[in-house]
Amino acid sequence: MIDIILCCYNQEKYIEQALVSIYSQNFLDTANLIVADDSSSDKTLEIIKSIPSPAWINKVYLPHEKNMGLVQNYKRAFHVCKSEFIFILEGDDFWSSPEHLKQHVEFLRNNPDISMSMNKLTLQFVISGEENYSYWQEDCKEFKRWNLREQILANRLGNLSGCCFRGELIRKLPNRLFKIYFADWLLGIIMAEHGDIAILEESTSTYRIQPNGQWSGLSTEEQKKELIKCATVYDDFFKHKYRDFFSELSRSLGAELPPSIVRRVKQKIKRSLRKIWRIKCKTKQ
C-alpha cells in the first residue's frame, strides 16, 4: 500500500483538479488518501467530500477543528502513515501524468540505495499562465543523483508535491523536527542522510507559483536572507555535523559565518594551542 497526503488550506479554486489528478492515476495497488485539511474556511473540504473516490482509494479525514499551521499539519499526517511509500500533494498543485504514482514506486523498488525520489517539475505561473520546466538542462538519461552536500548547498526538491518518500524513513523523523519551521529543503537533507536522492527526468507533477506564496512571494534579497537564517537553524538542528557544508553555503550567499560557528572554531583553536603548550612544557622537563 501507499499513503497519499493531500495537504490543503483554503484552496477551493484548485482542489478539484488536485483531487482528480489523484483519482486518475494508473495504479493497480490500493492507497490511503489522507486528507489533511488545516481547517479551511472556504469550500475546500466540501469539494473534497463531494467527489466520489475510486475503489482503490481508502479516504481518511483528519480532524480539522482549528488551524494548526503547515508544520503541525504535516506532523499529524505523517503520524497516521503506515505504508511502504508516502506521497504528498499540496492542494494547489496537481499530478500531470497518470503514471506519477507507478513511476515513483517502481523506481524506488528497483533502487533500494536511493532514499527518496523527486520528479522534475513543471512550473505554472498563476499570473502569466506560462509554464516551464525546473532544474537541469543537461542530458541525465533517466534520473540524476543528488547527495547530501548538494542538497544542503542547493535544494533540488523545491516542492513536496513531486516527492515520494520511503515510509520507514518518514517514521524515523525525530519529534524535535516539528518544533521548528521546515519544508522541502530540510526534509530532503534528512532523507539524504540515508542515501542519495533521485531526481527523475520526466515531469509528472505541476507546481503552481503563486504571487503571494510563502517562498515565491519573497524578493530575491528576501529569499537570500531567509536561506542564511535557515542555514543557521538547520546547522544547529544537525548538531553541527554538517558545519562545513552550511558554512560553504553561507559563504556562497555572501554571508558571514553564523556567530555559533565562529565561537566553536575559536574554542577549537584555543584547545589546540593549549595542547601544543602542554606538549612543549613536557618536552622541556
Q: What percent of the chain has pLDDT over 90?
A: 66
Q: The cell 473540504 sits on which residue?
A: 45
**Ramachandran angles phi, psi of 226, nearest 5°:** -65, -40
Distance separating alpha carbons of residues 213 and 216, to the nearest angstrom:
5
Distance separating alpha carbons of residues 5 and 80, to the nearest angstrom:
10
Q: State the pLDDT at residue 140.
A: 55
Q: State the pLDDT at residue 13.
A: 96
The pTM (predicted TM-score) of the whole model is 0.85
Q: State the pLDDT at residue 264.
A: 56
Supply 219's cell numbers. 524578493
Has residue 273 got a pLDDT over 70?
no
Strand partners, 208: 124
pLDDT band at 269 (very low <50, low <70, confident <90, very high): low
Which of 58, 54, 1 has its CA nearest to residue 35?
58
Residue 212 DSSP one-character state: T
Q: What percent of the chain has pLDDT over 70?
A: 83
Q: State the pLDDT at residue 237.
A: 96
Distance separating alpha carbons of residues 99 and 101, to the nearest angstrom:
6
Distance separating alpha carbons of residues 203 and 120, to the nearest angstrom:
5
Q: State the pLDDT at residue 219.
A: 74
pLDDT, tens digit, 9 for 90 and up, residues 77-125: 999 999 999 999 999 999 999 999 999 999 999 999 999 999 999 998 8
Q: State the pLDDT at residue 162.
A: 96
Distance separating alpha carbons of residues 238 and 117, to the nearest angstrom:
22
CA dihedral defined by 209, 213, 219, 224, rounded to 10 degrees?
-100
More confident residue, 25 or 124: 25
Which of 7, 119, 123, 157 has its CA nearest to residue 69?
7
Least confident window among 136-140, 198-202, 230-234, 246-250 = 136-140
Domains in the chain and their CATH numbers?
2-209 (3.90.550.10), 220-284 (no CATH)
Which of 147, 234, 145 has its CA nearest to residue 193?
147
pLDDT, tens digit, 9 for 90 and up, residues 159-218: 999 999 999 999 999 999 999 998 899 999 999 999 999 999 899 999 998 776 665 666
Q: State the pLDDT at residue 268.
A: 55
Q: The cell 497518470 sits on which residue?
A: 98
- Contact assessment for residue 245 and residue 153, using Cβ atoms and an 8 Å cutoff: yes
Distance separating alpha carbons of residues 77 and 61, to the nearest angstrom:
10
Q: State the pLDDT at residue 210.
A: 77
Q: State the pLDDT at residue 211.
A: 75
Sign of CA dihedral 190, 196, 199, 200: negative
Which range among 46-50, 65-69, 118-122 has the greatest average pLDDT? 46-50
